[in-house]
Amino acid sequence: MEPPPAAAAARVRTAAGPPPPAPPELSGTLGEANVPAERAGAVAGPWQASREAAGKAVFPAGGGGARERRDSLTRRRGRDGGTRAIFGPVRGGGGGVVATAAVKEEEEPTGRCPPRPDHGREYDVIGAEGPDLTPVGVVGGRSCPLRQIWVGNKSGLLVGAEAGGSAADCVALPQECILSGIMSVNGKKVLHMDRNPYYGGESSSITPLEELYKRFQLLEGPPESMGRGRDWNVDLIPKFLMANGQLVKMLLYTEVTRYLDFKVVEGSFVYKGGKIYKVPSTETEALASNLMGMFEKRRFRKFLVFVANFDENDPKTFEGVDPQTTSMRDVYRKFDLGQDVIDFTGHALALYRTDDYLDQPCLETINRIKLYSESLARYGKSPYLYPLYGLGELPQGFARLSAIYGGTYMLNKPVDDIIMENGKVVGVKSEGEVARCKQLICDPSYIPDRVRKAGQVIRIICILSHPIKNTNDANSCQIIIPQNQVNRKSDIYVCMISYAHNVAAQGKYIAIASTTVETTDPEKEVEPALELLEPIDQKFVAISDLYEPIDDGCESQVFCSCSYDATTHFETTCNDIKDIYKRMAGMAFDFENMKRKQNDVFGEAEQ
């Protein structure tokens, strides 16, 4: 059975009623904007795709109750207790976008589809009802004819609308949202399957807070002091974006930034002698820092000037350093930098996890420090950005990008088996059905026989009622504890965000401490970080295995990503993405190839 080439992550609640008859052949389309309100009449026939007679859903006045939040797919999501709307992308041939609106359980589905607050337009609606999500209507639009509606039989999610076609070029499994979006832009026919009822796998944000307590088997649930559960969006994998880094470039080139809002992280700090200090990365900050003595400041200033002026294509800027052969240890020695300065330069600026880089050619380290300084120069406070409503917005944004270019998304779709023929992947089996494909992208959990364990990482999510001490009461920050400061082989990281980013209740903060496990007592390893966070309202401890693929996948065409590491930035993840792309496409990753070639119905050109 061929996979449906369209999917919508849409769950709504409507009035109970008998299930509709089996769907006949339809001629309807998806993706049209500017559907007048008067076209949304009563439900004449649940499967009728006519514009004049189609299922309608009520969107509550004021955008969904006491508090409204943006969704990265449709910019809007209801947040009150009585109604709820979860929006998602759907493909209709060329890639229309569908919004779904929730109705109160007691009401008949009468009303109109919600206008987008910044456009004031109407959009196509696919609705569904009941625990099995019986479809309740389709409002017409443009693009290719529909032949069949597919309904997920377990998830309660409408997973697609088939427009005909052949086997997918590529099947992507959960965490590979970025790659599925990129492959769709490059003209590949992509099917994205996820065993979870949400986008992003491990990189998602958990909401409401009650779900986080259940996930960590805390059956008592959150106390009233935590506020409303739906005010929380807690990341499972703590990461920030470098303002001038690779992920931001991917977002800009693909224009996924249309669906996201970011805030600048307010500070980057480094741990020294039991205290934390602001990381100096400019001449002015270096001179004002308490992290170094007067003579060290002057030497560090000269080092930063050297890095800022360095150009690997201009030998005049080398100052006697050979970027291909001179080690970073020799560069530090050239500027007579002390051990403490070396620690925060290598770990807080160049963002290395260990000291292995010291005996490697200095070019990579110099470029890393330049990236940090360039990212800092973009916004001033720190080099890091963070999306409002949590990191779960990132996979949703790339999911929508894939949908715009014809990608198919199936949520809550278990993967039973990967079908191989003559050593190559030919399909994925799920619930008795086989989706045929030429290539497969997945995370290690789907192919345990093709990966090896590379270590463990511990992450402790801490809920606080106060900012971290000695950070100038910052609402967000990163703290790096270099390995040498705590007699370890790898660094400890702290990533802190708060209610200011719409991820926590008013006055609450979320700090996540993480590190690579080195002993049999992982929690004790992160104690230096936890001491900085005291007092802690609630802790959630997660210890995860790190896996890496045992081969490059070129022979089997099964391409596996590496597990997320302990770092609080996406640079290592982006390197993995670029490496997988090169192996899949047979060519180096090129940002120019990621540029969008069309506008979606929410495109900036239409404003």
- Collapsing DSSP to helix, strand or coil, 470 comes out as coil
Q: CB neighbours (10 Å) of residue 288?
A: 12
Of 409, 415, 413, the closest CA to residue 397 belongs to 409
- Collapsing DSSP to helix, strand or coil, 301 comes out as helix
Q: In angstroms, rounded to a whole number, what is the distance separating the alpha carbons of residues 229 and 17? A: 30
Q: In angstroms, rounded to a whole number, what is the distance separating the alpha carbons of residues 438 and 117? A: 41
Q: In angstroms, rounded to a whole number, what is the distance separating the alpha carbons of residues 300 and 281? A: 10
Domains in the chain with CATH codes: 168-218+389-452+548-597 (3.50.50.60), 279-380 (1.10.405.10)
Cβ neighbours for 48, distance < 8 A, ≥ 6 positions apart? 26, 54, 137, 138
| Residues lower than pLDDT 50 in the chain | 1-166, 601-607
3-class SS letters over 312-334: CCCHHHCCCCCCCCCEHHHHHHH
* Amino acid letter, residue 296: E
Where b means 16+ CB within 10 Å and e means fewer, 381-415 reads ebbbbbbbbbbbbbbbbbbbbbbbbbbbbbbbbeb
Of 263, 271, 226, 194, the closest CA to residue 461 belongs to 226
pTM score, two decimals? 0.72
What pairs with residue 277 in β-bridges? 270
Q: Which two tokens stand for residue 595?
A: 């540029």
Cβ neighbours for 217, distance < 8 A, ≥ 6 positions apart? none
* pLDDT of res. 514: 96
Q: Which two tokens stand for residue 22?
A: 């089996």
Q: Tokens 């209709």 appear where?
A: 92
Decide if 425 contacts 440 (C-beta within 8 A). yes
What pairs with residue 410 in β-bridges? 193
* pLDDT of res. 385: 96
Decide if 76 contacts 63 (C-beta within 8 A). yes
Q: Tokens 């949908």 appear where?
A: 403
What pairs with residue 509 in β-bridges? 464, 498
DSSP string over 245-314: SHHHHHHHHHTGGGG--EEE---EEEEETTEEEEPP-SHHHHHH-SSS-HHHHHHHHHHHHHHHH--TT-
Decide if 56 contacts 42 (C-beta within 8 A). yes
* pLDDT of res. 591: 84
* Amino acid letter, residue 425: V
* pLDDT of res. 251: 92
Q: Report CA 246 to chain centroid distance, whole Å.
A: 14
* pLDDT of res. 174: 52
Decide if 292 contacts 301 (C-beta within 8 A). no
Q: In angstroms, rounded to a whole number, what is the distance separating the alpha carbons of residues 321 and 421? A: 53
CA distances from 464 to 266, 467, 509 (A): 17, 7, 5
Decide if 137 contacts 56 (C-beta within 8 A). yes
